[in-house]
Amino acid sequence: MPLNASLIGNLLDAAQGDRRQEVVSSLIDTSNLKIERIVSLGQRSPPGFWYDQPLAEWVVVLAGSAGLCFEGEPGVRVLSAGDYVLIPAHLKHRVEWTSQDHATVWLAVHYPETG
């Protein structure tokens, strides 16, 4: 059986849609695994907002750059192309900034922590 065209793509292709908003594309979404491609262009978390996710998240920046803040840490962690971070479930974090000059492309893998 041939592959469905929706199962083939390129993570670095330009995102379609309104560039004033992040574009989130679900690549895999099951009960135990969620993989998303996120394309940002200058977006950031709203003031005072912190993500507090029930799943662990491994995220890698494929293109562009961004600054992440983690609760309890004094500064911003800068991520550039190739950088990744594993964010444990319920570790509060926020996106402080994403590049405004060129798209930041993220690959985010969400999964339940074991143990």
Domain boundaries, the chain: 27-111
Average pLDDT of span 50-64: 97
Residue 33 pLDDT: 97
Asked if CATH classification 2.60.120.10 holds for the domain at 27-111, the reply, yes or no, is yes
How many Å from the N-terminal Cα to the C-terminal Cα in the chain?
A: 39
Of residues 107 and 7, which shows the higher confidence score?
A: 107
pTM of the full predicted structure? 0.88
The residues, ordered by sequence, that sit 6+ positions from 97 with a Cβ below 8 Å of its Cβ are 42, 44, 66, 67, 76
Cα dist. 12→33, 37, 63, 92, 105 in Å?
22, 9, 8, 28, 7
What was the pLDDT predicted at 61? 97
Q: What is the mean pLDDT of residues 33-55?
A: 96
